[in-house]
Structure 1
Amino acid sequence: MVLSIYAFLVVLSFSALYPFWNGLVVSFNEGLDTSKGGVTFWPRIFTLQNYEIVFEDKSLIQSFMISVYRTVIGTIAAIFVTSIIAYGMTRSNLMGRNYYMLFFVFTMYFGGGLIPTYLLIQSIGLYDKFLVFIIPGLVSVWNMIIFRTFFKSLPNGLEESAQIDGCSNWGIFFRIILPLSGPVIATLALFTAVAHWNDWFVPSIYIKNPDLLPIQTVLRRLLNANIVELSGLDSGSVARIQAMQTVTSRSLTNATMMVVTIPIMLIYPFVQKYFVKGVLVGSLKE
C-alpha cells in the first residue's frame, strides 16, 4: 500500500514537472533540430543561441524590467495599504465597522464589468499609464480578511501596554503589529507578487504604448503569432537570426518562457516556511 502511494506521488510529480523540464530542454536545444522531434529529457544539440537572441532583443529586456518594477512596487504598495485597512477593521471603536466590512465583501462577489471598468480607468487618467498596474490592485479584500483575522489573533495586552506608554495607533501598527506579522506578510506578499508577475490581461486592455508592456503580455503575443514579427526585434537581432538559420519560433518562445518563469520561482524557497504559519493562522484562527 505504501509503495503504491509513493508510486502515485512519483507519477503525479513527474506529470507536473515534465512540461517545465521539457521547455527548459527545448530552450537549450538547437531550434531546427528540435523541429525534427525526439527532444525530451536532454538537449540533443546544446546551444545558447536562443538566449542570446532573447537578451539582445531590447524590447524584451524593456518588457522584463517593466514586469520587475510592477511586481516590486505593486506588491509593496498593496501589502502596505491592505494591512492598514485590515488593522483599522480590527478597531472596536470604528464607527460603522460592520457596514464597511459588508461593503468590502460585496466587492468580492460583484464587479462593475469590463466596459464600465475600462471607462473608469480612462476617466481617472490611468489609461496607458504605469500606475494602471498599481492603483486598481492596491486593495485585495481576501488578503484584507486574512490580515484582519491575523491581527485579531494577537494578544490585546500588547496594544494596551503600548497605549499606556503613550503610543499612538500609528505607532502601535508600525512598531508592534507589523513586526509580529512577518509570516502572513511574507505569504501574502508572495501571492501578490505572483499575481502581478503573471498578469497579462490588464496590460493588453489598458496599455497601448509598447514600452509599457510587461513581459507576460509580450510572451502571449509571441505564443499566438510569429515571434519575429510581433516581438519588436530590432534589425540587428533579425539579421542575427537569419544568419544563424538554426533558431525557430518554438525555441525562442521556450527561451523567453524560461526567462519569465525562473525569476519568480526562485522566490518560493525563501518564503515556503511561512506558508502554513501565515496562511493557516491568518485564515482559520478567529
Structure 2
Amino acid sequence: MFSLKRQTRGEAAFGIFNSILMLAICFVTLYPIWYVLVNAFNDGQDAMRGGIYWWPRQFSLDSFIAVFRSEGIMTAMGITIAKTLLGVVVHVFFTAMVAYAVSRRELIGRNVYMLLGTFTMFFSGGLIPYYLLIRDLGLLDNFLVYIIPAAFSFFDLIIFLSFFREIPAGLEEAAKIDGANDLTIFTRVVIPVSMPVIATIALFHGVYQWNDYFTGMIYINNTDMQPIQTFLYRVVAQSSSNQMLGAMPSGMTISVSSQSLKLATMVVTTAPIVIAYPFLQKYFVKGFMIGSIKG
C-alpha cells in the first residue's frame, strides 16, 4: 500500500513559487535567442523600425542570402571544421597519453608533475609572454596555432585520471604477460575500454574549438585563415555592411541592414553547435560524473 502525503499550504505555495521562478529563468534564458531568430528572419529595413518581439513582421531571407554570399564565410567555416576535427583528435590522444602515464604509480616524479599541473590551472604568465612564445615558435599566421597550444589540458587530464584509476589492473597485467609494452597496452587495452571518457573529452574540446574566436583574432592576421567565430566577431564589430554587400551579384535586389546581417551571421555560426548540443548533453553530464563519489 502506498501512502500519499498531503501537502501543507506552505509546501504547495513553495511548489508554485518554485515553478514560476523556473519558468521565469527559462524565459530570460531563451528569449534572447528567440529575439535574434525573429529579427534575423525579418526584412532588414523593416526591422530598423523596431517593435519586433515575438514574430517576424515581414518575413525575409535576404540577410541570410547576403551572409552566405559574403566573401570569406565559407572559407572561415572550412577552417573551423578542420581545426575542430583535427584539434579534437590531437587533444584527446595527447591528453589521454599523458594522463595514462601520470596514473602509473611507478612513474618517477609523479607527484611533482601533478603539483606543477595544478599550479598552471590557477596561474599563468599573461597574454604578452604567451604571445611572444607563440611568435618564437613560429605559430603566428599558422594553422597549427589552433592545434598545438590546445593539445593538452590539465583539467581534462584530471577527468582521464579519474577514469583510468577505475580500470581493473588485471587487464594490464594480462597484456604484460602476453608481452605487450606500455604503448601497446595504452593503444589496444586502455583506449578501447575508455570510450565513454574519450567521447566526453572530445565533446568538451569540440565545443571549445568551435566557439573559439580569440585565437584567430590575436594570432592570425590573414583573414583567409580565421575561423567562423572570428568572422562573426569582425561582422559584429563593423559599423556598416558595405563589405558584405559588395560580394552580392549585380542586379540582385535585397533588403538588409547592418543589424540584420549581424543577427543572421550569429544564427549561421552558432546554429550547428546549438543544434548538436541537446543530443550530446548526456555525455557532458557523464563527464562531470566520472570520478564522483559513489555511495
How far apart are the structure 2 equivalents of 1:68 and 1:227?
A: 28
Q: 2:131 aligns with which of 91, 102, 118?
A: 118
- Deviations along 1:5-31, one digit per CA (max 9) or x if unpaired, are 222211111110110111111111101
Contact 2:159 2:287 (C-alpha < 8 Å) held by counterparts:
no
Over 3 Å counting, the alpha-carbon distance change for 1:92 and 1:226 in structure 2 is same
Could you list the runs of 5+ residues in structure 2 that have no partner in the other structure? 1-13
**What is the CA-CA distance between 1:73 and the residue it aligns to?**
1.1
How far apart are the structure 2 equivalents of 1:62 and 1:40?
A: 33
Q: Give the CA RMSD over aligned residues.
A: 1.9
Over 3 Å counting, the alpha-carbon distance change for 1:74 and 1:112 in structure 2 is same
Contact 2:212 2:229 (C-alpha < 8 Å) held by counterparts:
yes
**What is the CA-CA distance between 1:227 and the residue it aligns to?**
4.3
Q: 1:179 aligns with which of 192, 205, 223?
A: 192
- Deviations along 1:56-110, one digit per CA (max 9) or x if unpaired, are 1131111121111111111111111001000000111111111122222222222
Structure 2 equivalent of residue 199 of structure 1: 212
**What is the CA-CA distance between 1:253 and the residue it aligns to?**
0.8
2:72 match: secondary structure: helix
1:74 partner amino acid: G
Counterparts of 1:1-286 in structure 2 under 5 Å?
1-229=14-242, 232-233=243-244, 235-237=246-248, 243-244=253-254, 246-282=255-291
1:61 partner amino acid: M
Over 3 Å counting, the alpha-carbon distance change for 1:193 and 1:240 in structure 2 is farther
TM-score, with structure 2 as normaliser:
0.89
- Deviations along 1:165-201, one digit per CA (max 9) or x if unpaired, are 3332222222222222222222222121111111111
Could you list the runs of 5+ residues in structure 1 that have no partner in the other structure? none
How far apart are the structure 2 equivalents of 1:183 and 1:3?
A: 39
Which structure shows the bigger proportion of residues in helix conformation? 1
Contact 2:94 2:152 (C-alpha < 8 Å) held by counterparts:
yes
2:190 match: secondary structure: helix
1:146 match: secondary structure: helix
How far apart are the structure 2 equivalents of 1:194 and 1:51?
A: 24
How far apart are the structure 2 equivalents of 1:6 and 1:66?
A: 44
